[in-house]
Amino acid sequence: MLKRFVPDQYVPSIFDVSISELKERGIKGIITDLDNTLVEWDRPDATEELIKWFRQVKAEGIDIVVVSNNTEKRVKHFSDPHELTFIHSAKKPMTRAFKTACNIMKIERNEAVVIGDQLLTDILGGNRGGFHTILVVPVAQTDGVITKFNRRMERVVFRWMKRKGLIEWEKEKKNNQ
């Protein structure tokens, strides 16, 4: 059961995801979370560095769909200026939004990756849907109310992963700071 929470990859940030490696693997689409994956949960707009990353990904012919459990207002405000397709109120870890993202991009699930900062929503949902999953260190050290609960649960899973030698999260966090 806990293996469903284990990401295929983990990196310090979205900027550490190798676009060239994704292309080599035949990836045509990125399904990404928004809050604490792309920007802090309370930051309304993309940073200049993130805007540059969006351009690089698109220039390489890879589509991006933002899949968030947040409200339409929040996700639309963030996504529209960058012409990003988005799915709001996604109900992750349910898999429907991930499958819908693939349909929007007209790709198969083996041609997509799911990137997010939460085990209980992004990684569990991506793994349940049969996607390659990439866990990133949360952009901010603070969270909204619901996410705070999820983070407590995640710590239990992280301890299990650490005991099994599956992930060294603390090392990633230290390298990122």
Which of 121, 129, 107, 128 has the alpha carbon at shortest distance from 30?
107
Give me the tens of pLDDT residue by residue for the chain, a chain 177 residues long: 567 888 999 899 999 999 999 999 999 999 999 999 999 888 889 999 999 999 999 999 999 999 999 999 999 999 999 999 999 999 999 999 999 999 999 999 999 999 999 888 999 999 999 999 999 988 877 655 566 666 667 777 777 777 777 666 554 444 443
CB of 54 closer than 8 Å to CB of 17: no
Cα→Cα distances 60→8, 11, 21, 41, 92, Å: 22, 20, 11, 27, 28
Report the pLDDT value the prediction gives residue 145, as an integer from 0 to 100.
58
CB of 176 closer than 8 Å to CB of 13: yes
- For the chain, the domains span 2-176
CATH topology of domain 2-176: Rossmann fold (3.40.50)
